[in-house]
Amino acid sequence: MAPPQPLVFTVRRRMPELVSPAGPTPNEIKYLSDIDDQEGLRFQIPVIQFYRRDETNLNGKDPVKVIREALAKALVFYYPMAGRLREGPGRKLMVDCTGEGVVFIEADADVALADFGDALQPPFPCLEELLYDVPGSEGVLHCPLLLIQVTRLSCGGYIFALRLNHTVCDAFGLVQFLNAVAELARGGRSPSVMPVWRRELLDARNLPGATPTFAHHEYDQVPESEGAAVIALDDMAHRSFFFGEGEIAVLRRLLPVRLRRCSTFDVLTACLWRCRTVALRPDPDEEVRVICIVNARSRFNNPPIPRGYYGNAFALPVAMAAAGDLAKKPLGYAVDLVRKAKGEVSEEYMRSVADLMVAKGRPHFAVARTYLVSDLKRAGFGEVDFGWGRPAYGGPAKGGVGAIPGLSSFYIPSKNGTVVPVSLPASAMETFVREVEYMINPHFDQIRSAL
């Protein structure tokens, strides 16, 4: 049977415009926190939401017009989002609250939502048409902090896509902002959760000689060695994998009894880290790493992070192992490492990260022989309702984060399970698929012993 033809369609865009706050806003400087302000967050993150036609809600109204007007109203409350980033002494980032606005693009596409298929998941066809990279808008400094494109579909549905400067907020902060736009689009007069800036709460401690109190190996400067796996950027394969209750149950049966009540995140991360390492074939003695993004909002008590805070508030704890040990030892070995890394995150840990940022010149997290995973199942992208109901899909527009293909994966909620987009060199992807299939096979132990 011939493979299905890729979906191709045409998008007609109007000229990009700047949407400014609908009312007067303060003209001031607001500093980012020392958690926001790290080299590894200086990039644009794309998100996409697919919405069906809904005859019962806002029937006859134009989603482009409704969302554009609601966006302008929301920017009165979230006025820093309409500003521009500047850089001060020590590369310190700050928002110049100029009220210049965010980029907005109106578009139409000659394609229906049904044409994308039942399984809406990255990679999406013609993404560059659904989220147009306006020339000159993609920078971190002196550029719009947010770009939004709303594309009407031929079926009456629409696609809401955006690109965000990650230094300004994380996934939870972005969803808070989107919900504010959505509430105003549905007729609200103000957001139900008012935004809180308070970035100083996550600043380095202003004490003489303050130094990090944790090792923070996630920020080690790890060189690529001769035997390390090198990601071939010109030969990447992109696939999404589904893990339902059955697949997770099979993985749990590979664990010792003491670990079988661990979280889905723990066992899934351990499985993917192991399979990816086997697929990339590093030297058995090479150290490989997995970074687990941990939302740290609930870890703060003195003072607590207030409701409405929309800055970055996550940690990047790392688990490390020799590649050979990870590939040959039971899955419980990797689960223990993941759980130990996540367990380090506390208020003191976050204070220590902020101290490190200032003391070490805001380093980038390690990328050599590293896999980064981010669980977005509770972020709330799938709950954002502009008046046409919840999205058929809401979440990352691409399988990974940052400018380094193959480095990372998101965990995306799906009906009865989790979707995980993965990017790897084509040759490694074949091995990765085989390894995953082995591990979720109920007879994995017998298969492994026969290899």
**Catalytic residue set:** 166, 385
What number of other Cβ atoms are within 10 A of residue 304's Cβ? 13
Instruction: Find all residues with CB under 8 Å of 423, minimum gap 6, and list them.
Output: 236, 237, 238, 399, 400, 405, 406, 409
| N residues, the chain | 451
Q: What is the DSSP string of 133-164?
A: --TT---SSSSBSEEEEEEE-TTS-EEEEEEE
Spatial strand order of the sheet with 84-87 comes to 29-31, 93-96, 84-87
Which residues is 409 bridged to in the sheet? 373
Q: Closest by alpha carbon to 95, among 105, 106, 86?
A: 86
Q: What is the DSSP string of 318-350?
A: EEEEEHHHHHHS-HHHHHHHHHHHHHT-SHHHH
Amino acid at 393: Y
Amino acid at 327: A
d(CA 189, CA 194) in angstroms, rounded, equals 12
Preceding peptide of 144 cis, ω within 30°: no
- Read off the DSSP letter of residue 19: E
d(CA 407, CA 276) in angstroms, rounded, equals 10
d(CA 212, CA 297) in angstroms, rounded, equals 20
Q: Closest by alpha carbon to 64, among 163, 135, 150, 155?
A: 150
* 102 neighbors 82 (Cβ within 8 angstroms): yes
Rg (CA), the chain: 22
